[in-house]
């Protein structure tokens, strides 16, 4: 089975956005055992899109199109494919109802465009936006139409398109995820380079994502059971190599979900005291649904004043060691736990830059402290990159430190 990817959107040709969809879908298709020989990007232009689809359908079995499903006049993917296949566009009552209930009284004329479907196509719900996806089966090809925004495209692909595509493949492809945090991509790869170099079946594909490194292990076999048996020993080897750096073997489980689960399992409550991360750690923790049982309050103490007022950090400590120091991180964590009566707390203080760095305390220096049941752990980090990058890495390190501390103490 061959697959060709067509990304539609003038914004890609102008460089307004990076085409991460192409990367995501390439990984997914490789995992499905499809051969991808071409990726093509065209703008919101009917003639060029027509030509691209026409070329693709003669050289690939499956054509995946992303983008161009929006409500505006330059969204033309559905219309162009319909005209190429000589199929009608018809009003889909189901989509119409969904759009009506979504927009209530705020429907503008062009919203109705999204209720049109190519005749005989399957309409695929979009749970994160208004543009549905479509599967169009033609004599020699299958066309998969996905919305452009990754946060609409990815869930739709994973929940709805993947099961469909899996059925087109006669081999069983099974993949498992090993999700690590706390080691860089290059180092992680070096730690298992022998396994990667000798891989045949299962394959091991590493990829770095938001400061984490994930490994997708994929086996192909004649049955699920056989595939499982092939996966088992490789997963065990990765577990042995990466040990505590692995936070989950469940593909959809995020680091913050693991932390919330661990806290909840051990009847622990959490508070946060953040300086340079300014609320982002709590912000990510609170993205987990049902977090109210374990999280009640957090402190954004950007100024020294606030650190003293809310967290009881001593003025003498600030004077002696500076706000970005092991000692202050420690007092912040203790203070947050006390003020909020939580069993666990995490505190972050650092120099995110671009200003504020010195030779002794350069930009990127961050102290993260975790208080847990009376014990306090502090880690020192030297992160690279700009302000945003330093803060992002601090957030991940802080959430990961909570995880490591709970695992350390509660096993």
Taking CB under 8 A as the binding criterion, the range among 80-88, 281-289, 364-372, 373-381 that sits at the site for its own copies is: 281-289
* Listed ranges 115-123, 139-147, 192-200, 235-243: which one lies at the site for its own copies (CB under 8 A): 192-200
Q: Could you identify the residue written with the tokens 């709970």? A: 406
Joined together, the tokens standing for residue 117 give: 């479907």
Element housing 242 (H / E) = helix 224-242
- CB half-sphere exposure, 180, CA atoms < 13 A: 26
Query: Does 393 contact its own copies by CB under 8 A?
Result: no
Considering the rule CB under 8 A, would residue 60 count as an interface residue with its own copies? no
Q: Which one, of 37, 107, 48, 39, lies nearest residue 74 by Cα? A: 48
**Crossing angle of helices 77-84 and 46-59, rounded to 10°:** 60
Q: Which of 50, 164, 302, 381 binds its own copies (CB under 8 A)?
A: 302
Q: How far from the centroid of its chain's Cα atoms is residue 34's Cα?
A: 23
* 182 binding its own copies? (CB under 8 A): no
User: Which residues in 358-387 contact its own copies (CB under 8 A)?
Assistant: 384-387
Residues 240-259 that bind its own copies (CB under 8 A): none
Residue 357 interacts with its own copies (CB under 8 A)?
Answer: no
Binding of residue 301 to its own copies (CB under 8 A)? yes
State whether residue 207 is helix, strand or coil: strand
Q: Residue 167 interacts with its own copies (CB under 8 A)?
A: no
DSSP 60: -
Give least dist CB 87 to its own copies, A: 25
190 belongs to the binding site for its own copies (CB under 8 A): yes
Report residue 104 as tokens. 């209530």
Provide, rounded to whole angstroms, the least separation between the CB of residue 206 and its own copies. 7
Report the candidate in 59, 73, 196 with the shortest Cα–Cα distance to residue 141: 59
Nearer to its own copies by Cβ, of 236 and 305: the residue is: 305
Report, in Å, the least distance between residue 5 CB and its own copies.
8
E strand or H helix at 22: helix 20-32
Nearest Cα residue to 202 out of 179, 165, 173, 222: 173
The residue (of 119 and 309) whose beta carbon lies closer to its own copies is 309
Residue 379 CB, nearest approach to its own copies (Å):
16
Geometric angle at alpha carbon 387, from 386 and 390, rounded to 5°: 85
Q: Is 261 in the site for its own copies (CB under 8 A)?
A: no
What does each C-alpha distance from 143 to 135, 348, 371 come to in angstroms?
A: 6, 48, 53
* 14 makes contact with its own copies (CB under 8 A): yes
Can residue 330 be called a binding residue for its own copies (CB under 8 A)?
no
198 binds its own copies (CB under 8 A): no
Q: Does residue 287 interact with its own copies by CB under 8 A?
A: yes
How many residues bind its own copies (CB under 8 A)? The answer is: 102
User: Of 61, 100, 164, 206, which lies in the binding site for its own copies, with binding defined by CB under 8 A?
Assistant: 206
Window 128-147: residues binding its own copies (CB under 8 A) = 128-129
Determine the Cα–Cα distance for residues 329 and 40; give it in Å rounded to an integer.
Answer: 50
Residue 152 CB, shortest distance to its own copies, in Å, is 10
Which one of 27, 90, 122, 135 is in contact with its own copies (CB under 8 A)? Answer: 27
Rg of the chain (C-alpha set): 25
| Distances in whole angstroms, Cα of residue 267 to Cα of each of 321, 347, 364 | 35, 20, 34
Interface segment toward its own copies; rule CB under 8 A; list 230-238, 282-290, 370-378, 397-405: 282-290
Name the minimum Å distance from CB 289 to its own copies.
Answer: 5
Find the helix or strand (DSSP H, E) in which 173 lies.
strand 172-181
Q: Which is nearer to its own copies, 94 or 207 (CB)?
A: 207
């Amino acid at each position: 089975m061959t697959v060709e990817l067509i990304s539609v959107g003038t914004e890609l040709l102008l460089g307004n956005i990076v085409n991460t969809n192409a990367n995501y879908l390439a990984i997914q298709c490789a995992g499905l055992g499809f051969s991808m020989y071409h990726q093509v990007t065209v703008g919101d232009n009917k003639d060029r899109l027509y030509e691209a689809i026409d070329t693709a359908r003669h050289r690939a079995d499956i054509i995946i199109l992303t983008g161009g499903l929006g409500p505006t006049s330059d969204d033309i993917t559905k219309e162009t494919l319909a005209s190429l296949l000589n199929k009608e566009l018809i009003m889909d009552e189901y989509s119409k109802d969904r759009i009506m209930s979504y927009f209530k009284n705020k429907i503008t004329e062009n919203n109705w465009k999204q209720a049109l479907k190519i005749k005989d196509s399957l309409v695929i719900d979009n749970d994160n936006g208004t543009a549905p996806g479509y599967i169009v089966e033609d004599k020699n090809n299958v066309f998969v139409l996905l919305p452009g925004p990754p946060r609409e495209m990815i869930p739709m692909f994973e929940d709805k398109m993947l099961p469909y595509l899996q059925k087109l493949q006669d081999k069983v492809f099974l993949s498992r995820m090993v999700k690590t945090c706390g080691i860089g991509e290059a180092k992680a790869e070096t730690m298992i380079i022998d396994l990667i170099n000798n891989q045949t079946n299962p394959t091991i594909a590493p990829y770095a994502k938001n400061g984490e490194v994930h490994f997708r292990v994929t086996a192909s076999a004649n049955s699920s059971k056989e595939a499982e048996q092939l996966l088992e020993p490789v997963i065990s080897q990765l577990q042995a190599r990466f040990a505590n750096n692995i936070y989950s073997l469940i593909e959809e489980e995020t680091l913050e979900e693991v932390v919330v689960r661990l806290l909840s399992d051990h009847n622990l409550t959490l508070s946060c005291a953040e300086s340079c991360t300014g609320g982002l750690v709590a912000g990510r923790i609170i993205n987990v649904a049902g977090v109210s049982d374990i999280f009640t309050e957090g402190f954004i103490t950007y100024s020294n004043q606030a650190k003293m007022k809310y967290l009881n950090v001593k003025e003498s400590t600030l004077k002696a060691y500076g706000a970005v120091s092991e000692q202050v991180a420690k007092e912040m964590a203790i203070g947050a736990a006390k003020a909020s009566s939580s069993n666990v707390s995490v505190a972050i203080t650092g120099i995110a830059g671009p200003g504020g760095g010195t030779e002794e305390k350069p930009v990127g220096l961050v102290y993260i402290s975790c208080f847990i049941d009376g014990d306090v752990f502090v880690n020192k980090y030297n992160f690279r990159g700009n302000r945003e990058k330093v803060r992002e890495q601090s957030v991940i390190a802080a959430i990961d430190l909570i995880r490591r501390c709970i695992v350390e103490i509660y096993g």
